[in-house]
Amino acid sequence: MRALSQIKLMGEFALRSGGGEAVALPSKVQALLAWLTLHNGSPVKREAVRELLWPERGEDQSRHSLRQALFVLRRDGFGGREIVQSRDNAISLLPESAVCDVHELREMIQADAGASWREIVGLYRGPLLHGFPPVSPEFDDFVIGMRRMLEADVLAALGRIADDAADGGDTAQCIAIAERMLAIDPLREDTHRRLIQTYAQAGRRADAIRVYTDAKTLLRREMDVAPAAETEALIAGIRNGRTPDPTPSRTPVTLPAAPAVSGPPRVAVLPLRQSEDQPLASHLSDGITADIITQLAGLRELTVISHGSTFGLRDPHMEPHAIGRKLNARYLVIGRIRRGGDRLRLTTELTEAETGQIIYSHTDDADVAMSFDDQDRIVARLVNALVPQVRETELRRIRGKRPMVLSVYEKILVSREYILRLNRDSFGEAKTLLDEVIEEDPGYGEAYALAAEWHSTMAGEGWSQDRSGEIATVEHLNRTALELDNCNLRALISYGYRKAIHHRDHESAIRILHQALDVAPCSANAWALSGLCFAFAGEAAEAVRRATRALELSPFDREAYKFFLALCVAHYTEGDYERAADWGLRALAEDNAWRGTLGFTAASLAALGRVREAQDITAQFLAKWPKRRISEMMNSLAYRDADRRRLCGEHLRAAGYPD
């Protein structure tokens, strides 16, 4: 029987033929073999593999590249043997075509496998695919996640064996295992504590103190944290001549979770850095940091790392990629606060952790005697600026991927982009992606909320043949989203706003939008749409205040056309047609202005007697929707007061809308 080839993925990649000779393969072929091997016989779609390994190439080129890679793998890697099976346009590694150290390691570290610690560390030659060149974001993220999970499993297995050795009084073995665990992850304080305790039990007090001193220096240098109280208590007892309990504590082994490959990007907000010449009180800078984290954490688009995990990372010399890997964060928010006389300047940078590239920079000024309102304003504007920048960067990262290889989160991101464009050519693609997400993950509330937005746009833009059916679907989808997640911001905003414009239920609309603002007090979108609801309820002054608040929170928002429309409708409602027309024209200058903007802008201009301008805008409307009539528009207006609807109809008639 022919000997099996050996695939080594722990440490650096290596492939040996059945005869033991090392086999050299191109890096993309190595990546292909590693991917198939780590999927452990599960079939993988050819399209997904092509997009994974050759994302920059077109379909024909990537198809040719995959065929060539499979040919090279069979010819050079396995001596002409067929090792890949293909079925239904999917490929997988044939069972027993090769042995892999990852599979052997997984079997060995099972709790009841009975493997020795030397056998485990013999297989664990180093991190998974150590030093492997970058392939694609999806492949690289997958490897990082697998790497951390394997490391966690190995450390847990070694910890169990060390516990057994300690129970049996074998301090020499316990010391050897703990030292090997620290070689794998030198920042594990619980492992340092295990080694300190075992040295003390063996009567090696000087070695125990040395390990503590080294650990303290390392933790301070790498993480800017002091040893935990448990460690300090242990070393204090040793220094006072006490011997620790011979049974080490069975504190569960904990490691940071593997990075979420398919979920929202992880963001870490680091403590604000201060200038040394005029430092501020720490409660002020730390309070701003905590507020930024709290506001970001209220959004479903991001996974925000807790304040407790970032509080100690104050060393200005720590590299972004080191912080990112330590926290499993893709993005870092790095801020600096500087005092100049009676003024403060806060500069914040959004940085991509792995590359260190600054994606966005934001500066805000305030008085030294900063009030809570000042702090809220600064934090709110910053948060409203950061989120779109992360979204844009994520879209650039996944641009060019085909739908079959997009993760659930990426499909949500792309579908949202298609909806925002208000382009009929791509609008249908958004619905296809959302249907796929709901099928793949029926418990994901955000997908239902975004689908509700899709159907609402179909009704609002006049693209649907069944407006009442679309409105019923919007209601159902929003209810479903809120049943799955009653704090889903998108669903709350959509549900509340649609209560006003579809049903004229202004009281319910305002109540639901208040809930949305309780969830995310700095959501510019929620402030703008609640302003529209107040306008339709006839409360013009409050509508102006809320729409103005939205613009203050996010003055350069890509969805600012909603804020401009809210100001247009609010001023129109209070009878200030000059301002209403100005804001309406400004909204129409944006790429994605809603259809209703044309009507309210034309009505405002007609009310001012600027009939020619109003008729020009009406002509734009009728060119797209020639069958619309004033009676239909009046019936669909969300104003609670029938007199307001009639007045708007008169203005639209003067603007040239047909009866």
**Segment among 307-321, 470-484, 533-547 with least mean pLDDT:** 307-321
Average pLDDT over residues 498-520: 89
Gap between the Cα atoms of 565 and 589, Å rounded: 11
- pLDDT band of 300, cuts 50, 70, 90: low
- H/E run at residue 165: helix 137-167
Is the confidence at residue 380, as pLDDT, over 70?
yes
Is the confidence at residue 234, as pLDDT, over 50?
yes
Is the confidence at residue 600, as pLDDT, over 80?
yes
Q: Are 621 and 599 in contact (CB under 8 A)?
A: yes
Average pLDDT over residues 64-73: 90
Q: What domains does the chain contain, in order, with CATH numbers?
A: 5-117 (1.10.10.10), 138-239 (1.25.40.10), 266-398 (3.40.50.10070), 522-659 (1.25.40.10)
Average pLDDT over residues 551-579: 88
Average pLDDT over residues 96-103: 86
Gap between the Cα atoms of 626 and 620, Å rounded: 10
Question: What's the whole-number average pLDDT of the chain?
Answer: 83
- H/E run at residue 347: strand 343-352
Q: In this predicted model, what pLDDT tens digit does every residue of 332-351 receive, in sequence order?
A: 888 888 877 778 888 888 88
Gap between the Cα atoms of 248 and 185, Å rounded: 20
Average pLDDT over residues 221-239: 83
Tokens for 610, please give them: 């600027």
**Segment among 16-30, 409-423, 470-484, 584-598 with least mean pLDDT:** 409-423
- pLDDT band of 280, cuts 50, 70, 90: low
SS3 for 166-211 is HHCCCHHHHHHHHHHHHHHCCCCHHHHHHHHHHHHHCCCHHHHHHH
Gap between the Cα atoms of 655 and 606, Å rounded: 5
Is the confidence at residue 473, as pLDDT, over 80?
yes
Is the confidence at residue 528, as pLDDT, over 70?
yes
Average pLDDT over residues 401-416: 75
Is the confidence at residue 399, as pLDDT, over 70?
no
pLDDT of residue 258: 35
pLDDT of residue 248: 46
Q: What are the contacts of 159-162 at 24+ separation with CB within 8 A?
A: 159/194, 159/253, 160/111, 161/116, 161/117, 161/120, 162/117, 162/194, 162/248
Q: In this predicted model, what pLDDT tens digit does every residue of 147-194 receive, in sequence order?
A: 877 887 888 889 889 888 888 889 999 999 999 998 888 888 888 999
Q: For the chain, how are helix, strand and coil distributed in percent, rounded to 5?
A: 60, 10, 30
How far CA 591 is from CA of 385, 501, 508, in Å, comes to 19, 23, 31
| % of the chain at pLDDT higher than 90 | 23
Is the confidence at residue 257, as pLDDT, over 60?
no
Highest mean pLDDT among 88-97, 331-340, 372-381, 525-534: 525-534
Tokens for 336, please give them: 């600096």
**Segment among 291-300, 436-445, 571-580 with least mean pLDDT:** 291-300
